[in-house]
């Protein structure tokens, strides 16, 4: 059973460019969340997708956007990249079951470096 997979694993972009990161959730999971982990920090919630809609959003600008596809996979898009966007981007999947929903399983992350 494949866990959460993310691609690419590493990425280098130039300031001002746009980037798309991809995530395939664990088999059977229907909810995808994205987190940004800056060096030396804990992960910060960006947003969450459920039933192809953004369900919750953290304190991130509109430059950060996403999408969820019918097969539950997801993309994170970041426009007009800034140096401060350099971080490890983590995707987490879970299964929504109301109060007893499952814990989140994380992918290996995509290391984004903006130069």
Partner 1 sequence: AQSVAQPEDQVNVAEGNPLTVKCTYSVSGNPYLFWYVQYPNRGLQFLLKYITGDNLVKGSYGFEAEFNKSQTSFHLKKPSALVSDSALYFCAVRDPLYGGATNKLIFGTGTLLAVQP
Binding site for partner 1 (CB under 8 A): 4, 6, 31, 33, 35, 41-45, 48, 50, 55-56, 58, 90, 92, 94-96, 98-101, 103-109, 111
**Closest listed residue to residue 63, CA positions, set 15, 8, 30:** 15
Cβ atoms of 112 and 87 closer than 8 Å: yes
Give the pair of three-digit tokens for residue 74: 């997801």
At residue 51, φ and ψ (nearest 5 deg) are 50, 45
At residue 100, φ and ψ (nearest 5 deg) are -100, 30
Of 16 and 54, the one with the shorter C-beta distance to partner 1 is 54
CB of residue 16 to partner 1, shortest distance in Å: 27
Q: Helix, strand, or coil here: 80? A: coil
Of 50 and 67, the one with the shorter C-beta distance to partner 1 is 50
CB of residue 110 to partner 1, shortest distance in Å: 10
Q: Tokens 């959003």 map to which residue?
A: 57
Of 21 and 92, the one with the shorter C-beta distance to partner 1 is 92
Of 13 and 55, the one with the shorter C-beta distance to partner 1 is 55
């Amino acid at each position: 059973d494949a866990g959460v997979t993310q691609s690419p694993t590493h990425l280098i972009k130039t300031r001002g460019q746009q980037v798309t990161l991809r995530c395939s959730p664990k088999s059977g999971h229907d909810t995808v969340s994205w987190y940004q982990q800056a060096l030396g920090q804990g992960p910060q919630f960006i947003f969450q997708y459920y039933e192809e809609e953004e369900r919750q959003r953290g304190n991130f600008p509109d430059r950060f956007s996403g999408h969820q596809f019918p097969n539950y996979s997801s993309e994170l898009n970041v426009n007009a990249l800034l140096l401060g966007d350099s971080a490890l981007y983590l995707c987490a999947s879970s299964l929504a079951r109301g109060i007893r929903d499952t814990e989140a399983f994380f992918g290996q992350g995509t290391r984004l470096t903006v130069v």
